[in-house]
Structure 1
Amino acid sequence: MQTDVVRIGTRGSALALAQAAEVRARLMAAHDLPEEAFEIAVIRTSGDRIQDRPLSEAGGKGLFTKEIEQALIDGRIDLAVHSSKDMPTVLPEGLEISAFLEREDVRDVFIGRRVERLEDLPRGAKLGTSSLRRQALALRLRPDLEVGMFRGNVQTRLKKLEDGVAEGTLLALAGLKRLKMEHVASAVMDPETFPPALGQGAICIETRVGDARVGGVVETIRHAQTGAALACERAFLAALDGSCRTPIAGEAKVQGKNLRFSGMILTPDGREAHEIAGEGSVDDAAEIGADAGARIREKAGNRFFDSWD
């Protein structure tokens, strides 16, 4: 590869920087290059600036990506590192997801202020989360809970918990592992009853379409199985017009040449939920996801989706 410095764009949170550093380390190892060959550029996004209301009210998932994507379009960075679950299903013209790193643990964890499990929270206790999916799943299990908005990075949320803003919160285990903070988790949620966000645990790399130089650099660290799983999950999300306003969960698992997918949609109050499953060849990953999305949409009916509006 050429020796020009590769500029990696990322958000500035501790987790985002850890993810960018992981990408850099993998690229350094793959190309036998020093750290100086890769520059990490921090870009503040709208999602980082807006802390006073849920993302669903502020504009959705693109709030964590649009400024970084503009820097990529403008040529100020060469590649962008994102949490896959933050990525909208439709990307700006001229950009593409060119690689996924091997996926981390997809599960959520519960962190309690005074109890170890979600089930142990006192009746009517306040649960802090900014995720509609986590809200819906929690209320499905514990309809008595009061759910309050909990925005901010991992450290901010833990401080809010310590200060008594809520009695418990939910975070992704993958993020805690990348921050070497998994010890703060009180309990790991069962993915059968508390399925993850689509894309959870996977780091993706976004590049310019047709950029052969950067594409060649990134190709060396692409994890094919994770790519297939995410192609399925993103197709499911796209079939449902999914955004931060829609409580959607699911996971695709790849075993050899086979892919299995399970998905769920819920109303924000958790009172109604529909589940779907699909299976087939890993080569048909996107088709499996899209088909599952079409089937669950038909199963739930228009009335269900009208409740989101």
Structure 2
Amino acid sequence: MAKTIRIGTRDSELALWQAHTVQHKLEALGYKTELISVKSTGDLILDKPLYELGITGIFTKTLDVAMINGTVDIAVHSMKDVPTQLPKGIIQGAVLERAASEDIFVFKDGKSTADFESTVTIATGSLRRKAQWLNKYPHHQVVDLRGNVNTRLQKVADNDWAGAVFAKAGLERINLKPENHIVLDWMLPAPAQGAMVIAVMQNDSYCKEACAHLNHKNSELVTHVEREFLRTLEGGCTAPIGAYAEIKEKRIHFKGVLFSLDGTQKMEIEESVPVSECQNFGTLCALKILESGGRELMESIKKEL
């Protein structure tokens, strides 16, 4: 009898949309599936501490535990939330075709513009977005904004900010992108922003084979370059890092950036290589930044955080 693939997901509206998307794609291929919404790690008993298993991601931890415990078979994530180092025994099963990678600014109260020349307050919970915003608008105030997409949109409505920064793909997926927004084409996205990834257990050949059908090769390639850049720069530290790779005419074009937390320092790189020569491309780009002052900048970020 064919195995039922248990798909693990968080219970936010966006996470459920992503999991349903994978479910429909697998069922269209003839696989049996079941969606399992996982809320908290409190009642999941492990015989090893999380750090021993390499479980780190704040948004992915619960599902990592559920996979290792055998509660679910695969997990669906926004790829930008997934740590570059996966826990022991868990591998990347598929990268789905990437959606929009850009960030957008959502204005408050239906306004279609804001006077960015004046001193306004904008909201974001992302170090990357904050640093890039302050680099462009040093006279602005940036306040912290946390929670899922719906919660953050509500907070924008409830506060006297000019607006807040969101990932375009997340709002589009659940039909919440307001009319009153602008695309921030000057802001480099988080590595792998707009892409969804399926995590699978390394020893589960049935699920690995099923997920492989959903892999989009070009999306896998560009997100790999971006995440390689991130992993090499980070060294286990969260920092304001943006990265974007795209394939044009059989070449991978890459832009990467590292900022200081306050946005005053900016180090960037722009390179391209033939797709056939892209092995370690993200790492090499990161090393160029590290060798030209990035290492000292990363050290100062670690001290500030």
Same fold (TM over 0.5): yes
Mapping of residues 17-36 of structure 1, within 5 Å: 17-29=16-28, 31-33=29-31
Residues 258 and 294, structure 2, Cα contact 8 Å, conserved in 1: no
Q: Does 1:241 align with 2:234?
A: yes
Q: Does 1:304 align with 2:300?
A: no
CA–CA separation in structure 2 for the residues paired with 1:124 and 1:141: 13
1:45-100 Cα shifts (integer Å, max 9, x gaps) = 58xxxxxxxxxxxxx97111112111111211110101110011111111111210
Amino acid at match of 1:280: V
Amino acid at match of 2:219: T
Amino acid at match of 1:228: L
Query: 1:281 offset after TM fit, Å?
Result: 3.1
Amino acid at match of 1:26: K
Query: 1:226 offset after TM fit, Å?
Result: 0.4
1:238-266 Cα shifts (integer Å, max 9, x gaps) = 11126673000010102353211110000
1:96 to 75, 91, 96: 91
Q: How many residues align?
A: 288
CA–CA separation in structure 2 for the residues paired with 1:64 and 1:204: 13
1:103-133 Cα shifts (integer Å, max 9, x gaps) = 0010011011154346x24633211110001
CA–CA separation in structure 1 for the residues paired with 2:120 and 2:132: 16
Amino acid at match of 1:287: N
For 1:67, the equivalent position in structure 2 comes to 62
Residues 7 and 38, structure 1, Cα contact 8 Å, conserved in 2: yes
* Alpha-carbon spacing, 1:80–1:249, altered in 2? closer, same or farther (3 Å): same
Amino acid at match of 1:136: A
Mapping of residues 83-122 of structure 1, within 5 Å: 83-114=78-109, 115-117=111-113, 120-121=115-116
CA–CA separation in structure 2 for the residues paired with 1:105 and 1:185: 18
For 1:55, the equivalent position in structure 2 comes to none
Amino acid at match of 2:293: A
Mapping of residues 44-63 of structure 1, within 5 Å: 44=39, 62-63=57-58
For 1:250, the equivalent position in structure 2 comes to 243
Amino acid at match of 1:96: I
CA–CA separation in structure 2 for the residues paired with 1:286 and 1:147: 38
Q: Does 1:207 align with 2:206?
A: no
Q: Give the TM-score, by structure 1 length.
A: 0.87
CA–CA separation in structure 2 for the residues paired with 1:242 and 1:171: 26
2:119 to 115, 120, 124: 124
Query: 1:177 offset after TM fit, Å?
Result: 1.1
Amino acid at match of 2:256: G
Provide the aligned C-alpha RMSD in A: 2.0
Structure 2: gaps of 5 or more residues: 42-54
Query: 1:173 offset after TM fit, Å?
Result: 0.5
Q: Give the TM-score, by structure 2 length.
A: 0.89
Residues 76 and 197, structure 2, Cα contact 8 Å, conserved in 1: yes
2:171 to 176, 185, 197: 176
CA–CA separation in structure 2 for the residues paired with 1:45 and 1:278: 42
1:196-223 Cα shifts (integer Å, max 9, x gaps) = 1101000001101131100111111110
CA–CA separation in structure 1 for the residues paired with 2:63 and 2:89: 14
Where 1:70 maps in the other structure, the secondary structure is helix
Query: 1:169 offset after TM fit, Å?
Result: 0.1
For 2:218, the equivalent position in structure 1 comes to 225
CA–CA separation in structure 1 for the residues paired with 2:231 and 2:155: 34
For 1:5, the equivalent position in structure 2 comes to 4
For 1:53, the equivalent position in structure 2 comes to none
Where 1:63 maps in the other structure, the secondary structure is coil
